[in-house]
Amino acid sequence: MRLPKRSRFLERGPSGGFLPPWHRVKYPLPGDCPGRYRLLILLLWFLVLGLVSGFAQGRRFDHLTRSDGLINASVSSIIQDEQGFLWFGTKGGLARYDGYGFVTYQNDPFEENSLSHNLVQTLFQDSRNILWIGTYRGLNRLDLITHRFTRFVHDPNKANSLSNDVVTSVYRDRSGRLWVGTLDGLNVLDEKRGTFTHYLSDDRYSGALPNNTVRSIVQTKDGTLWIGTYGGLARYNSVSDSFSTYKNDPKNPKSLPSNLILAVKEDSQGFLWVACWNGGLYRFNPYEGTGQTYSFPDNRL
C-alpha cells in the first residue's frame, strides 16, 4: 500500500533516507585557486546554489503534530514498511500512520500483548514482516501480520537474557543474525530459543568490543559489520569472532575526531560516514583506515 498523494511531507532522498525539513547545505567559497580559475569556479558555485535553491523550492513539507493525532511530539525514529505505512517511535509510544490518521501502540501493564515501554529509541523492519522496537524496557518484536508483541528484557537471574534493557540499535545482517545494541553491551538473538549471546568490553582482551555503549550497527556492501560505540568504531571479524577498533589519536588528524559515535552510514562509494558527539562528521575510508573530518559551528551532531 502506498501513501496517498496528500502525504508528501516525507520524501525519500537519493540514498533512500528521508530528507528532514531542517536540511541545509553549506558551500565554501573558493579561496586559494589560481586567478584565471576563480571566476569560472565562482560562476559554477552560483550555478550550484541556483540549482539547489530551485530544487528546494519544488519541495513542500507538511507537519504532523499532536493535534493531528501523533501520540508524542518527541520522535526518535522513523521508518516506512514494505506496505507504505510510516512508523514513528516516540517518547510516548509507537505510532503507525497511513496517510490519514494514526494507530497508536502503548504499554498496558495489564496486557502482555502490548509495548513493553512507551519510550521508543529505535525501529528496524526486517524482510520477514517483523518490526523490531528498541525501548527503555527491552526489545519488542511486532509481527505485522498477526499484530502480536513478543518482549525480550534483561533478567539478572538469567545469564543469556538481554544484556541491558535500554535498546539503542537493531540490525539483521545478511546471514540472518539479529544484532541488538544496548547501553551495556552488544547482543545476538537466538530467535528459536529466545536467548542472547553477549559481546562486552574487556580490557584484558584486545579483540573485545571497545565500549559497552552501542549506538549504531551497519553492514557494508562487502559484508563487513561495523559497530559504533562510545569507545570508537569497531569492525567485526566473523572468522575470529572478535573486533578491531578505530579510535581517536590526538597526534593523527586523519583519525576519528571523537570516540563517542552516534551513527554510522555507508555511501555509494563505500565510504563510512560517522557522526561523532562533539567531533563533527567523519568520512572514513575502511580500506585505508583513515579519513577526513568535517567540522561545524556546533559539532554535537
Q: What Rg, from alpha-carbon coordinates, does the chain have? A: 21
How do residues 170-229 score in pLDDT, each as one tens digit? 999 999 999 999 999 999 999 999 999 999 999 999 999 999 999 999 999 999 999 999
pLDDT: which is higher, 252 or 30: 252
How do residues 49-95 score in pLDDT, each as one tens digit? 555 555 555 677 888 999 899 999 999 999 999 999 999 999 999 99
- Which domains are present in the chain? 75-294 (2.130.10.10)
pLDDT band at 5 (very low <50, low <70, confident <90, very high): very low
Model pTM? 0.80
Q: Looking at residue 151, what is its pLDDT?
A: 98
Q: Looking at residue 182, what is its pLDDT?
A: 99
Q: How far is CA 71 from CA 103, 143, 223, in A?
A: 9, 21, 38
Q: Looking at residue 15, what is its pLDDT?
A: 38
How do residues 9-50 score in pLDDT, each as one tens digit? 444 443 344 333 333 333 333 344 444 445 545 445 555 555
Strands 225-229 and 214-219: antiparallel
How do residues 92-144 score in pLDDT, each as one tens digit? 999 999 999 999 999 999 999 999 999 999 999 998 899 999 999 999 999 99
Q: Strand order in 178-182's β-sheet?
A: 167-172, 178-182, 185-190, 195-199
